[in-house]
Amino acid sequence: MNRRKYGNTGKNVSEIGFGAWQLGNKQDWEAMEDSAAVSLVHEALERGMNFFDTAPNYGRGASETLLGSALSGRRSEAVINTKFGHGADGSNNYSADSIRTSIEGSLQRLQTDYVDSVLIHNPPFEVLDGKYGHYSELDKLKAEGKILSYGVSVDSVPEMLEVIRKTDIGVMEVMFNIFYQETAEAFKLAHEKNIAIIVKVPLDSGWLSGKYDSSSTFEGVRSRWSPEVIAKRAALVDNIRFITNDNTSMTMAALRFILAYPEITTVIPGVRSSAQLIENISASDEKMPPEHVVKLQELWEQEIRGQQLGW
| pLDDT score at 89 | 86
Direct distance between the N- and C-terminal alpha carbons of the chain, in angstroms, rounded to an integer: 29
Residue ranges of the chain whose pLDDT lies below 50: none
| pLDDT score at 143 | 98
Nearest to 51 by CA among 5, 98, 112: 5
CA count, 13 A, side-chain hemisphere, 179: 26
| pLDDT score at 302 | 93
**pTM reported for the whole predicted model:** 0.95
| pLDDT score at 31 | 61
| pLDDT score at 117 | 98
Domains and CATH numbers, the chain: 3-209+249-285 (3.20.20.100)
Using an 8 Å Cβ cutoff, are 183 and 249 in contact? no
| pLDDT score at 311 | 64
| pLDDT score at 156 | 96
Query: According to the 3-state scheme, what is the secondary structure of the chain?
Result: CCEEECCCCCCEEECECEECCCCCCCCCCCCCCHHHHHHHHHHHHHCCCCEEECCCCHHHHHHHHHHHHHHCCCHHHCEEEEEECECCCCCECCCHHHHHHHHHHHHHHHCCCCEEEEEEECCCHHHCCCCCCHHHHHHHHHHCCCEEEEEEEECCHHHHHHHHHHCCCCEEEEECECCECHHHHHHHHHHHCCCEEEEECCCCCCHHHCCCCCCCCCCHHHHHCCHHHHHHHHHHHHHCHHHCECCECHHHHHHHHHHCCCCCCEECCECCCHHHHHHHHHHHHCCCCHHHHHHHHHHHHHHHCCCCCCC
